[in-house]
Amino acid sequence: MKVAIVTVSDSCVAGTRIDQSGPQLQNLVTSSTKFQIENAVEISLVIDDVDEITKVLRKLKNSGMDVIITTGGTGFAKRDVTPEATLNVINRRCSGLEIAIHTHSLKSTPMAALSRSICGIADETLIINLPGSVKAVKECWEVIEPVLKHAVDLLKDSDDGNIHKSLTNK
């Protein structure tokens, strides 16, 4: 699986804050036992700007990434525009994933209701927006990790049906 992580943060790009959620997400992805990473996880840092985020997402999608996970820019602030950029790139929304992430996060904090995270499919690439905090990244990863490989297999038409068979045999 080819995975890219994009941290969206004006302050991280400017060097006034150190990116912590991107490296945390990288650690979670590379240490997962649920799937194999084809190459090293690609990490990008981009300012909170719709055009810049859109450009990075399209570049990563076109480079053959299976999954792009963003962190940051999903809140209510004027500069929080990651969802708008994601909507510029995706063809189909993944509302079930969005609901699962929000529902799980709401168990930890009512502030999760203020996340505007989007999940969607851009051709054969899954794009998932996460909030920009280390805590939120960990919580959201608990939802994403178990389903990520199957989602990518379905997008690549390489699903062997074993997941569905195992579910019906219980």
pLDDT of residue 40: 73
pLDDT of residue 41: 87
pLDDT of residue 161: 59
Residues 6+ apart with CB under 8 A from 121: 90, 91, 92, 94, 127, 155
Q: How far apart are CA 92 and CA 112, in angstroms?
A: 23
Where does 3-168 sit in CATH, by number?
3.40.980.10
Rounded CA Rg of the chain? 15
Contact 81, 49 (CB under 8 A): yes
DSSP notation for 99-122: HHHHHHHHTT-GGGGG----EEEE
Secondary structure of residue 19 in the 3-state scheme: coil
- pLDDT digit of tens for each residue in the chain (170 aa)? 999 999 999 999 999 999 999 999 999 999 999 999 987 788 999 999 999 999 999 999 999 999 999 999 999 999 999 999 999 999 999 999 999 999 999 999 999 999 999 999 999 999 999 999 999 999 999 999 999 999 999 999 986 655 555 555 55
pLDDT of residue 66: 97
